[in-house]
Every structure is written in C-alpha cells, then in structure tokens.
Amino acid sequence: MADRIRRARACGASVLLCYGAHLIKNGLGPVVADLLRGGWITHLATNGAGVIHDWEYAFHGRSEEDVR
C-alpha cells in the first residue's frame, strides 16, 4: 500500500483515505494529520460518526463513546 501511495504522489495523482469512526476514536487522528501535512494523502472521506468523533476531540479533547 505504501509503495502505491508513493507512486501515485510521484506522478501527481490524488490519494483518498476513506475511514470510519474507529480510526479517530482509537487515536490515529494525529497520524492522518501527519500524512496530510506531508502530502501523502490529499483527500479524506468518512461517515457521520467519524465527523462526530473528530469534532469531539477538536472541541473537547476527548470523545464520550467507548468503542474498544
């Protein structure tokens, strides 16, 4: 997967990350942010729960729901 992303970015192609709420809820938001800042990912798509958890961390520093 990493090689495919590297090749896509080398030729200027977009890379879309589609993810669900568990990615954010389980602490991988900073990893996604680093990939965006580094230019490895160009677009994001998530579901409603992903947006809610992202908002909770941004505005409250935590999420109310336990998914583990």
DSSP H or E stretch at residue 16: strand 16-19
pTM: 0.77
* 65 belongs to a structural domain: no
pLDDT per residue as tens digits for the range 3-53: 999 999 999 999 999 999 888 888 898 999 999 999 999 999 999 888 888
19, 50 Cβ separation under 8 angstroms: yes
User: Residue 68 pLDDT more than 80?
Assistant: no
Enter the tokens of residue 48: 């409603």
The domain of 55 spans 2-60
Mean pLDDT of the chain, nearest integer: 91
Q: What is the pLDDT of residue 67?
A: 62
How many domains in the chain?
A: 1
Residues 6 or more apart whose Cβ sits within 8 Å of residue 4: none
